[in-house]
Amino acid sequence: MCGIVGYWGPNEPKKVILSGLRRLEYRGYDSTGVAIFDQKELKVFRSPGKLVSLEEKIKNNHFSGPAGIGHTRWATHGEPNEKNAHPHKVDSIAIVHNGIIENYVQIRQKLIQEGAKLSSDTDSELVAHLLVKEIKKGSDILKATLNVIPQLHGAYSILVINEKEPDTLLAFKNGTPMLVGLGQKEVVIASDVQAIIEHTNKIVYLEDGEIVLSHKSDAQFFDIKGKKISKDIHEINWTTAMAEKAGFNHFMEKEIYEQPRALGQTMAEHIDHKTKHVVLKNLGLTDAELLNFNRIQLIACGSAWHAALCAKYFLESLAKIPCDIDIASEFRYRSPILEKTTLFVTVSQSGETADTLACLRFAKKAGLKILSICNVQHSSIDREANARIYTNAGPEIGVCSTKAFTAQIVALQLLALHLARVKNTLNGEQISDLVSGLLALPSQVEVCLNHDKWFKDAAQTLAKYKGFLYLGRGALYPIALEGALKLKEITYLHAEGFASGELKHGPIALVDKDMAIIAMCPKDELYEKNISNIEEVRARGGQIIAIGTEADEHLKNLSQYYLAIPKAISMANPILASIPVQLLSYHLACELNRDVDKPRNLAKSVTVE
Ligand code: M6R
């Protein structure tokens, strides 16, 4: 979850590293630090809190060396204070680390017995001590790394800089990402493409057990035995402009507004606009292979899990294929029955979520085919899957997932329609009608974005509620869960999502006049049932904020506030209803002065289990 960046090259390392850390700050922001060469001396500066405090600390420092490393932390072991901030320097070695060293207790005890002087509570510092120990025995930095790797259990990406070799950067990884950007006479090594694209679009993705040793701009790659290996260089098509705020106040706000385009891009690649059929050209699974699957298992975390829950309704009703959904952190520990006739689908924006990746590996080992629904091309999940559908939503920087979430739903709906054609559960005309309905989404989402002003104006009043309950039925139930998650994560207010019909089995006890009820009630086959549930809540004094289809006077009369979404095919409703739900969270968070893009305790990419 932490952000790592290292640089060697002609530009000022301090500038490059701080700019890289700014782009990576969404990964964690408990503390930051840099180790940069000044002449031949490696100077370390660290600061608790966000990057601004480190920037302030070193604003007058000039560093004359060619290289440095930096880190922005999401704390796992040890409080987020200065001594636990990275880099950790021991003798001539400084390291930055993302991940968890699981056997750190044993390593720590052994090092203490051997007389090592530890200066932090972290698992990370121990790696620097282990490397120094090897160097003292006469190893060079590569040999030392090869000897240390077998001693480490857990997931990690580690970047090392060495005072004795100012032109050398070394990195290695297991489980969490590490990328090497190869520029014109410069090298950028980072945990995320965002820190590299400013300098080059030529990227090498390090695999588990591999090491990169970069001397000046010459990066060489080695396997776990120290054998030199050659690696593919990927050219990526994201630009720095895509990761800027572009005049919006927050990334989240920008990303909410990007949804019409993101949804259009997700569909563009997969729809034949002439026939209005779904064509998953690059899926990586033939129709014959797809026919062999009699079940789908979806795996995801957080918002991606909600997108998967929503997709179940369409995969089962359109493609008539049984569908199970699991939270990735739970799946492996419940002894699941894995059958090769099950298509295993991972859903992840980042493609780096540790629990989802671990499930992918677990299922792959059991011989299952893996289909990845992912936003970040060449991410670990994307690389390890057998088949893929990209969401094409562009970089999502705000910790709160918005455009990636709605793009995941639409990508999964396209999968459902593709399977429906292959399995002949819908005819061509039915499919093209539904595809036409989905193609209307970008303009319908534009209409929903018009509620922005209302939420902005109403935020002060809405902030007075003591809690928020989100209600939905069918494919809108996962949107109720998503709405509550969005609100919790960026406003820190109490919110819960329920299937509307479940409320009377307990949670209705929470309802009184201080409780806001966000009721999703579009004109679909479940409309009447939803209305009954709204009446039940009204009878107990709950304040209804209803999301309904167009000018629904009846629903309007039952509600304190009414927000219309356009009339659409029912497949579109979960996506359309997501927009007001996102806007509500965003404006409440602004009203409460929360750090919208960097909410407390969170990180964008959860690369630890
Ligand atoms: O990158 P992923 O889609 O795998 O991330 C999964 C969750 O961590 C993510 O959706 C998280 O719940 C978001 N912060 C929600 O807004």
Question: What's the token pair of residue 517?
Answer: 């009820």
Taking each helix axis from N to C end, the angle separating 403-422 and 428-439, rounded to the nearest 10 degrees, works out to: 170
pLDDT on residue 464? 92
Distance CA 556, CA 58 (A): 57
Q: What is the pLDDT of residue 244?
A: 75
Q: Determine whether 100 is exposed, middle or buried from the number of CB atoms within 10 Å of its CB (0-12, 13-18, 19+).
A: buried
Distance CA 265, CA 256 (A): 15
Average pLDDT for consecutive 10-residue bins of the chain (609 residues)? 90 94 80 92 92 91 91 80 90 92 92 92 93 95 96 93 93 92 94 89 94 94 96 85 78 94 91 88 91 97 98 97 96 91 97 94 97 94 95 91 98 97 95 95 93 90 94 97 96 95 88 93 92 89 93 94 95 97 96 90 73
Q: Tell me which DSSP letter residue 525 carries.
A: T
For 249, residues 6+ apart whose C-beta sits below 8 A from its C-beta are: 590, 596
* Catalytic residue selected from 2, 301, 323, 590: 2
Task: State in Å: Cα 399 to ligand 1 middle.
Answer: 8
- Which residue has a Cα nearest atom 11 of ligand 1? 302
Give the model's pLDDT for residue 580.
96
pLDDT of the residue at 236: 84
State which ligand 1 atom lies nearest to the alpha carbon of 404: 3
Determine the atom of ligand 1 nearest the C-alpha atom of 402: 16
- Ligand 1 centre to CA of 193 (Å) is 18
Q: What residue owns the CA closest to ligand 1's atom 10? A: 303
Known catalytic membership, residue 2: yes
Q: What is the 3-state secondary structure (H, E, C) of 92-109?
A: CEEEEEEEEECCHHHHHH
Q: What is the pLDDT of residue 99?
A: 87
* pTM > 0.85: yes or no: no
Domains of the chain (ranges; CATH) run 3-240 (3.60.20.10), 251-439 (3.40.50.10490), 449-591 (3.40.50.10490)
Q: Which amino acid is at 555?
A: L
| Terminal Cα distance for the chain, rounded | 10
HEC profile of 365-394: HCCCEEEEEECCCCCHHHHHCCEEEECCCC
Residues with CB under 6 A from ligand 1: 301-304, 348-350, 353, 356, 399-401, 485, 489, 605-606
**CA 277–ligand 1 middle distance (angstroms):** 30
User: Ligand 1, from 349, 399, 604: best to mutate by most atoms within 8 Å of Cβ?
Assistant: 349
Please, are residues 8 and 66 in contact by the beta-carbon 8 Å criterion? yes
Alpha carbon distance 273, 267 (integer Å): 10
**Strand order through the sheet with 179-183:** 41-48, 31-38, 67-73, 3-8, 186-190, 179-183, 202-205, 234-235
Is residue 411 a contact partner of residue 298, using CB atoms and an 8 Å limit? no
The CA 298 to ligand 1 mean position distance, Å, reads 15
Q: Which amino acid is at 524?
A: D
Place of tokens 């297991």: 174
Atom number of ligand 1 nearest to Cα 399: 14
Distance of CA 217 to the CA centre of its chain: 31
Asked about 604 being catalytic, the answer comes back as yes
Nearest residue to 6 via CA among 97, 89, 85: 97
Q: Quick one: which atom of ligand 1 is closest to the CA of 350?
A: 1
Distance 344 CA to ligand 1 centre (A): 19
